[in-house]
Structure 1
Amino acid sequence: MPFDATGKASLDHIYTEPDPRAYFTTLRDLEYGIPQLAKPYFADQIRRHRQVQPGRTPRILDLGCSYGVNAALLNGDATMDELYQRYADPAVQVMSRDELMARDRKRFADRRARARIVGLDSSQPALDYALGAGLLDDAVCADLETNELTQSQRALLAGTDLVISTGCIGYVGASTIARIATADGDHRPWMAHFVLRMVPFDPIEDSLRELGYDIEHVDRLFRQRRFVSSEEQDQVVDSLRSAGIDPGGLEDTGWFYAQLHLCRPRAVGSSVDLTPATDRVAGHHRGQG
């Protein structure tokens, strides 16, 4: 199995299938749970944006959306456990793609009233499925690390209120984030990114600060998934130690951990508390999330 520069194993094959069955059956075994942990934080940011712009249907860009998982959780009241059970069902395994898509479309039929969600991903098959299943309102298939947004893509991103991500930072970096931040002239969307600890966020933070953002690093850590193998764990632990980050009690126990970075334009950040309501109630802590 190939590994990237941080030591993380490549699971690219599960993101390019015509439907999400391989995605969910593979990640279920690894106890991938970051979208579930992120859900209340994203919902909190949406609620806060409604306070700033009451009466507006929030417009969300899910960066690295794959098959629309965050949309299913945020708009469809799904849970990761439900989705894992849904796609592992033996009856589902023998369905055609069209049958599966129709089943999903029925499940998520009433989702559109809550937020408008556009997905951005480099996998056209994943985007096609998420659109066909009714999880996304629109989609952009692009590699913004090397390419500028087209005029039509900018139009789709216009008016974005909140950009979210749950693991794509590292595959995309400061170039992508800056292009998204400036896609709509002087309008700057809020952002909430869950980033694995061995992935440096500094280049993105520096870029966003130059664009007028305030950044908060939420003092809490979140389990992303189990390691695929001891080799993956050893490489990630070595990568963390080389960067001066202590994996003790965290990655060395067999799990990836992520941190949440909240990014808001300064004009907003000065008038609205950046701290998620979840953490103000529970207190910031170093733990599982």
Structure 2
Amino acid sequence: MTARTAMTGIQDKAQQGHSHQRPGPSRPSPLYQGKTSFDDIYDQPDPRDYFRGLRPLEYQIPHHAQRIFQRLLPALGAVTGRDQQVRVLDVCCSYGINAALLNHDVTLDDLYHRYTDPRAAALSRDELIERDRAFYARNRLPGAAHMTGLDAARNAVAYARAVGLLDEGFGEDLELTDPSPALVRALGPVELITVTGGVGYVTSQTFDKLLSHIEGPVWVAAFVLRTVDYGSLADTLARHGLVTQRATSRTFLQRRFSDAREQQNAIEAVLATDRSPEGKETDGFYHSELYLSRPAEHAAAFPADEILDRAIH
């Protein structure tokens, strides 16, 4: 961790450890220069091309996030004392994958199989939506969270809404515009913000706008590529009263590099953050780290590494 990051409110803990970058919108952040673009699959009418395109790269970060996000829901309830449906905002929600895994008895492998199955390829979009709506309704978990999704990819958000993965969905780019009145209303009761790889495509600007409209205490759970400096975003979260902890006991495989050039760019980016790529990016995969940002008293009650350990073991 850089000296600059250490001064931004990130509570660093010890380090060890060994994650997909979310294929992003068509306007890439400078933080992601040198990464392969997935624009051709990210905003399709349905997720079939997305899963076919990412399967060879072993994109897997939603799988790792699933257990941790599911662990956060009861932890959040324990510190707030509220026994009610948790309201979650998934930033860079794409086709609702995190919502599918958080609220349903399904795995990421199930979704890969479902959307790459030749039988799915033969369906029209309307037929796929009808099939998926029934599938997710049948596999919905009791006590499911209320899910709001935000992504600049409007087609992807529309799909997630159509099949019932999102209770509310917004195809808005807060890097370019202010949130719509409808999004502002939806933000008020949000208690947990999740993001699995979008940090860098979305910046402090987006999070500042989101947090400005959230009415009560909120947690932010972000899986962030090691190629990205989280310091400026942690600064923004600190201005909204949140303490950021980085889980240090492990990192998370994101996806394979698409080619040697992408790998070399990632290695150089990690070195620029004063960390070593050995045993991680040098082995052919992007790696992500988990950052949890919460009010100080909540962070003290449930340290990030403790939540991580309970989710994994």
TM-score (norm 2): 0.85
Aligned mate of 1:31, from 48, 58, 76: 58
When residues 276 and 149 of structure 1 are mapped into structure 2, their CA distance, relative to the original with a 3 A threshold, is: farther
1:10 maps to: 37
For structure 1, the residue ranges without an aligned partner over 5 or more in a row are: 284-289
Maintained 8 Å contact 2:221/2:291: yes
Maintained 8 Å contact 1:86/1:92: yes
When residues 147 and 188 of structure 1 are mapped into structure 2, their CA distance, relative to the original with a 3 A threshold, is: farther
% same residue: 37
CA shift, 1:271, in A, is 4.0
Matched, 1:200 2:242: no
When residues 183 and 276 of structure 1 are mapped into structure 2, their CA distance, relative to the original with a 3 A threshold, is: farther
When residues 26 and 56 of structure 1 are mapped into structure 2, their CA distance, relative to the original with a 3 A threshold, is: same
Structure 1: distance between partners of 2:310 and 2:111: 29
1:139 maps to: 169
CA shift, 1:242, in A, is 3.0
2:218 maps to: 189
Maintained 8 Å contact 1:233/1:254: yes
Bigger relative contact order, structure 1 or 2 (CA pairs below 8 A, ≥6 apart): 2
Aligned mate of 1:211, from 233, 237, 240: 240
CA shift, 1:243, in A, is 3.1
Paired residue type of 2:160: A
1:208-247 matches, within 5 Å, as: 208-219=237-248, 220-247=250-277
Structure 1: distance between partners of 2:111 and 2:312: 27
CA shift, 1:269, in A, is 2.7
2:77 maps to: 50
When residues 10 and 4 of structure 1 are mapped into structure 2, their CA distance, relative to the original with a 3 A threshold, is: farther
Paired residue type of 1:96: S
Maintained 8 Å contact 1:119/1:138: yes
Maintained 8 Å contact 2:68/2:311: no
Aligned mate of 2:94, from 41, 46, 66: 66
Structure 2: distance between partners of 1:69 and 1:109: 15
Paired residue type of 1:218: A
Paired residue type of 2:111: L
1:113-128 matches, within 5 Å, as: 113-128=143-158
Aligned mate of 1:151, from 181, 187, 196: 181
Structure 2: distance between partners of 1:160 and 1:58: 8
Corresponding residue SS for 1:67: coil
1:260 maps to: 290
CA shift, 1:267, in A, is 4.0
Structure 2: distance between partners of 1:176 and 1:121: 11
1:89 maps to: 117
CA shift, 1:4, in A, is 6.4
Structure 2: distance between partners of 1:173 and 1:188: 21
Corresponding residue SS for 1:215: strand
Structure 2: distance between partners of 1:218 and 1:117: 25
Aligned-residue CA RMSD in angstroms?
Answer: 1.9
For structure 2, the residue ranges without an aligned partner over 5 or more in a row are: 1-25
1:180 maps to: 210
TM-score (norm 1): 0.92
Maintained 8 Å contact 2:72/2:307: no
Corresponding residue SS for 1:22: helix
1:287 maps to: none
When residues 133 and 280 of structure 1 are mapped into structure 2, their CA distance, relative to the original with a 3 A threshold, is: closer
Paired residue type of 1:27: L
CA shift, 1:259, in A, is 0.3
Paired residue type of 2:71: D
Paired residue type of 1:279: D
